[in-house]
Amino acid sequence: MLYREAGQFKASYQEDQQIFTIRQDRIGFWAILAVFFLAVPLLANSYWLQAILIPVLIFSLAAIGLNILTGYAGQLSLGSAAFMAVGAFGAYNFMLRIDGMPFLVGIVLGGLSAAAVGIVFGLPSLRIKGFYLAVATLAAQFFIVWALVKFPWFSNYSSSGVITAQRIEILGFAFDTPVTKYLLTLAIVCALALVAKNMVRSSTGRAWMAVRDMDVAAEVIGIRLLHTKLQAFAVSSFYCGVAGALYAYTYLGTVEPEGFNLDLSFKILFMIIIGGVGSMMGSFLGAAFIVLLPIFLNIAMHSTLGGAIPASFASNLELIIFGGLIIFFLIVEPHGLARLWQIGKEKMRLWPFPH
């Protein structure tokens, strides 16, 4: 019913190559964008914007970053949070030390410093693979957080080692309300997601996937392994870095290096596993699932049930339900939420004649 594709013909290469080849998808996509750009700022209150939507968007961006590296290029990484930290501290230092640094340039420079660090820690990937590479990126996680605490220059000699994000101003317009911060985050995330989607559809992404599927074969058909892997590390770290900068500037405002700990890296990894490895949409779904479910459970347990059950029991119950649901989803659909949507969509396209 929804997907009646009769009469949709592709008459040019351009039409054949667009991201959404089905008209209904295109309409749905623009409708979603319209809702998030137009309706949400009008309707949502500051709780929804600041505590729900902005973190989901930022973590989606980080998940896209990790998905590029792990999902598309097949390199397992446990250092995403550290690359976010590099982005946050990088952007902070560029804006602090260079007078009149425009915000967007500062964010991009923060992302680029993360990319540079990512390349360095990506170097071992040429020799080591799989779990061993995960351990090597684990080193990045610990080293970067340690370095940010160890050298006070990074936090501008703050006695407590934290950085406080400067005001966000673009062309004289101050982004200081929840709505403007949300729109800024949304715009950056949408733009970068579009770039990422196009990257994975182009020769760059195909090279990554070739390396992922079998690196010897990829080498035989003329893909330079070192180049491709480092490219994936750089792009992935850039995305994580920008996400980290946004985390500091549009979400928390003040961040400490310990905030970017291994737990956060694991969280981002869970996002892509739950959402769907090697899927753009999965990055968004996974981020929403991992960020929102604990909050939803917490509201259900503490606000609604309130005094009915002891608070310690409620808090532990939340973790149990959260873990249980993750296992449930992985059993029901090992390829993630994105795959679930894909199956649903295929069914809808065939409906009402499934055979």
Partner 1 sequence: MKFKNTVVLGAAVAGLLATGYAVAQDQFIGLPSYRVGPYASGGSGIYGGWIDYMALVNERDGGVNGVKLTWEECETEYNNARGVECYERLKSKGASGNSVFQPLSTGITYSVLDRVAQDKIPMVTIGYGRTDAADGRVFPWVFPMITTYWSQNTAKIKFIGMKEGGMDKLKGKKIVNIYHDSAYGKETIPVLDVQAKKYGFNVIHIPVAHPGNEQQSQWLRVRQEKPDWVILRGWGVMNPTAIRTAARTGFPRDKIVGVWWSGAEEDTVPAGDAAKGYIAAGFNVAGANFPVIKDIQSNVYAKNKGNMEDKSRVGSVYYNRGVVHGIITVEAIRTAQEKYGKGKPLTGEQMRWGFENLRIDNARLKALGAEGFMPELKVTCEDHEGSGKVKFQQWDGTKWTVITDWIDGDKSIVRPMIEESAAAYAKEKGITPRDCSKES
Residue 163 backbone dihedrals phi, psi, to 5 degrees? -115, 145
CB of 160 to partner 1, least distance (A): 5
The correct pick among 44, 51, 179, 190 for binding partner 1 (CB under 8 A) is 51
- Cα of first residue to Cα of last residue in the chain, in angstroms, is 15
**Residue 254: strand, helix, or coil:** strand
252 contributes a contact to partner 1 by CB under 8 A = yes
CB of 328 to partner 1, least distance (A): 17
The correct pick among 257, 275, 286, 336 for binding partner 1 (CB under 8 A) is 257
**Residue 25: strand, helix, or coil:** helix
CB of 117 to partner 1, least distance (A): 20
- Nearer to partner 1 by Cβ, of 306 and 334: the residue is 306
332 contributes a contact to partner 1 by CB under 8 A = no
Question: Who's near 349: CB < 8 A, 6+ residues apart?
Answer: 3, 5, 22
Closest CA to 114 of 263, 216, 242, 265: 242
46 contributes a contact to partner 1 by CB under 8 A = yes
- Nearer to partner 1 by Cβ, of 121 and 251: the residue is 251
- Which region among 97-105, 163-171, 202-210, 232-240 touches partner 1 (by CB under 8 A)? 163-171
The correct pick among 74, 79, 259, 276 for binding partner 1 (CB under 8 A) is 259
* Percent of the chain that is helix, strand, coil (3-state, to 5): 75, 0, 20
- Nearer to partner 1 by Cβ, of 18 and 46: the residue is 46
Residues in a beta bridge with 174: 169
What token pair was written down for 218? 């990829």
Query: Looking up tokens 């200081």, which residue turns up?
Result: 176
E-strand stretches of the chain: 163-164, 169-170, 173-174, 254-255
- Which region among 19-27, 32-40, 281-289, 296-304 touches partner 1 (by CB under 8 A)? 296-304
DSSP code for 153: G
Residues in touch with partner 1 (CB under 8 A): 46-47, 50-52, 55, 96, 146, 149, 156, 158-162, 164, 166-167, 251-259, 263, 291, 294-296, 298-304, 306, 310-316, 318-319
